[in-house]
Amino acid sequence: MASREAEDVTDHPRERPSLEQRRRGLPAGRPSRRRVVLAGVGAVAGVAGVGAAAGGAVYAGWLPGRERLVRAIEGCGEPGAVPAVEPGTVSVTSFRSAARRRDVDLVVAYPPGYRPRPAVADGDGDGDGPGDVAGDDAGLTLPVCLMLHGRGDSARDVVGALAAPAFLAAAAATGVAPFALAAVDGGETYWHRRADGDDPEKMLLDEVLPRLAAQGLSTNRFAAYGWSMGGYGALLLARRHPTRVVAVAASSPAVWHSYGDSTPGAFDSAADFDDHRVLGVGPARGVTYRIDWGHADPFSRADRKLADELAAAERGFTVGCHDFGFWRRQLPAQLAFVGRALST
């Protein structure tokens, strides 16, 4: 599946966002002073030369039109290449979510050598309910990492655009402690209960985790990974349930300083934003963090501040844009981080 690159936008958060920005949840733009900036850059020493000399100012975020300037200087970098390995077992099932009041897909990816345990008829025998007991087929109980997708994406993008099963197999081959990945459709809810009653958080805790336990996965403590909207969702899940979430790996998390800065539709109101804030609240007790973001990502300034506030144990601040190419490139280090967290 081709990488869906985010629209090239500037910094100002309050102007009406484009359709692509609304779909992705990116900060909206304003008419930039890029021509002025680049003219000044060219007059002094050329784009690349001044970019290097003023790198601190560019990456700190106070130059106007910084994302466009950074992107003009260094681009988005090489997209992450999918490892040439045989993935492990991937199961794709659907169920009716009472919390979301719709049918959703549940995708579970296992490292090579592992597979779902068949359920025995202690409950209804279908293997996807809390009344079913896992059999002994797989021998070992694997921990799990919930994978929360971005806005406009779905659970199936974990297998498609992100190619996570191949990266999981490659991680296992390098000695990363084995664990499973699980993704479910969260719509465009920003992974919290909305005013219309759509509740993806309740779906994760009360519907998805019992189904994973029925497949033989360990769900008392788990990790959370997400990209863009899903990165925000993973951070929020840890903040609200720190006794359940061991670690969070957030790739280009969609976070804002205020409700007025946020993309339309991400929150129902200013009160909803305040109730589900992740920037400015500090780390959740007992949770370890890794935050990754690209130089040309519209969220880079907020993500840098977030990483500082959370005292992130690991961070990946490098060449990149808000796209699957960057998210794939960072995935090996993020999976290694998750494996270490789940194995301790």
Q: What would the mean pLDDT of 310-338 be, rounded to a whole number?
A: 97
Hey, what domains does the chain have and what are their CATH numbers?
32-74 (no CATH), 90-343 (3.40.50.1820)
Query: Which position has the higher pLDDT, 65 or 243?
Result: 243
pLDDT of residue 265: 97
Q: How would you classify residue 299: left for phi > 0, otherwise alpha for psi between -120 and 50, otherwise beta? A: alpha
pLDDT of residue 24: 54
Q: What would the mean pLDDT of 275-294 be, rounded to a whole number?
A: 97
The tens digit of pLDDT for each residue in 127-153 reads 444 333 333 334 458 999 999 999 999
Strands 245-251 and 288-294: parallel
pLDDT of residue 61: 55
- pTM equals 0.81
State the DSSP code for 29. Answer: -
pLDDT for 221 beyond 70: yes
DSSP string for 270-316: HHHHHHT--TTS-PPTT-EEEEEEETT-TTHHHHHHHHHHTT-SEEE
Q: Which residues contact 344 (CB under 8 A, 6 or more apart)?
A: none
| Total residues belonging to the chain | 344
Give the lowest-confidence range in 33-47, 53-67, 217-231, 301-315.
Answer: 33-47
pLDDT for 52 beyond 80: no
State the DSSP code for 91. Answer: E
